[in-house]
Structure 1
Amino acid sequence: MKALTTRRLAAALLAMACAATGVVVSAGPARAEWPFVHIQNYNGGKCLQPTSAVPNALVVQRSCDGTSWLQQWDATQPIAGSSDFVLRNRAYPDLCLDIAANSMEEVVDGVPLQVFWCDPVTWPGERWPRAGRVRVPDYYQFYSRIATSLCIDVRNNSTSNGAQVILSSCWVGDVSQAWRFRIF
């Protein structure tokens, strides 16, 4: 009992000292921090990576490298209860996975993906809902919020390094549209 009273007294004294000096003490984040993830394709086992850490850099697939910040993404769900993900690149956190299009009319089958300044509220092309349509366990399709019939895909079902990542018509059996979040 005495130890508990001593700890409470010490905590109260610390709180008063902090208040008197203007120091703010936090108990920590309200939720656990999510680690950065790699976005890995089932077909070739490769990971999403922008060609560089600048706006408008195209996104390709490369062999997964646990040390490359270009391959690491912060996958957040900005809207509670939504299946939408916003995918921020770790190498440059102001850049998000985006559609390389300047208008809705340009969002068509085959349009490439890029990284661009994050603004998922104004541009829903940076929001990626996850669908459970893939027949591979633990892998999902991610489709465009603005063109729900178009999914993240690898051009020509390629398994090669440097193959361009695009949007194409969603198809349940297409393993080049099957992706998972992987922590290295």
Structure 2
Amino acid sequence: MKLSAVSSFLLPLLAAAAEPTPFGVMSSHSASPVHLLPMNAAGQKFWLGGETSSYCPISSGCPDGKYTVFAAGGGALDVVVPGGQQVYVDEDGALSFTQAHSAYIPPGSSLGPFEHKPGKPFGYYSFNGWGATGFMACPTEDSRWQVFAAIHNATVPQGNVNDCIGFSALAVPSNATAGAWQYA
């Protein structure tokens, strides 16, 4: 049931304050296949649908890693790994994040500006670089939707940017100490 999936995503992330804090993202586009899907980090990209991919090298004391959590401001992920994991838009327009233990960002990528506006119960998260109007979700072969900056010249998985769906990225405050040790 869609409502229980939304509840299981929201309950661990809700916090009382509206000041900048770490946050998760849920898509909003009524009457579309991407409505109310959580944004997940996996394979150095972001997806609507599917599962978050995380890793922890220690046997105990690891953050949950089940949900993707952005650091306050949205320019990085909320992780424990030394050096952190930065968020960027690659030259094809895909919302991406750096590999753990590496600050490498491919040439031609954009570091923003990302905008996080906290709110109760939801805030908003967006990318405003390259003339983008936020984010769009593009269909893939495996039933997930890959997240891209909403730009007309994005190189999308199935080749046609007109198949993508623009969505509002609802920022859901997180009360976790960290989202994951690292996202993979």
Q: Give the alignment's TM-score, normalised by structure 1.
A: 0.47
Which structure would you say has the larger Rg? 1
**Structure with the greater relative contact order (CA < 8 A, sep ≥ 6): 1 or 2?**
2
